[in-house]
Structure 1
């Protein structure tokens, strides 16, 4: 069984004893995509599909994980 499965964040307690759930730090640390980056992701995706490494390779400073997460968020919005 995958030890990371289902874990979005770690639970912790505040000073008043209330439990809080942390946000996935990976998603939280991504910088927003610019309009140019968004356009590029959509255009390249139309050509190559879900090949996130290939798409990220065309966008300086972006990782495949960032591009994939961006794509997933955009698909949820539609």
Structure 2
């Protein structure tokens, strides 16, 4: 399964929206045409996961 490519603009918007509304993925997805809340949540979690292994 390949990760969907997010543009720099989408990444910035997701980060700003997350600061405002937290993990309300469907609300964030409503601001980004063509993206699902699941895609955004998975992207955010994979991008911001901290691996301490």
Taking structure 1 as the reference length, the TM-score comes to: 0.60
Aligned residues: 51
Unpaired stretches in structure 1, ≥5 consecutive residues = 1-27
Alignment equivalent of 2:39, drawn from 61, 66, 71: 66
Unpaired stretches in structure 2, ≥5 consecutive residues = none
Q: Which has the larger radius of gyration?
A: 1
State the Cα RMSD in Å. 1.7
- Between Structure 1 and Structure 2, the one with more helix by share is 2
Divergent runs of 4+, >6 A:
none
- Between Structure 1 and Structure 2, the one with more strand by share is 1
Greater RCO, CA 8 A, separation 6+:
2
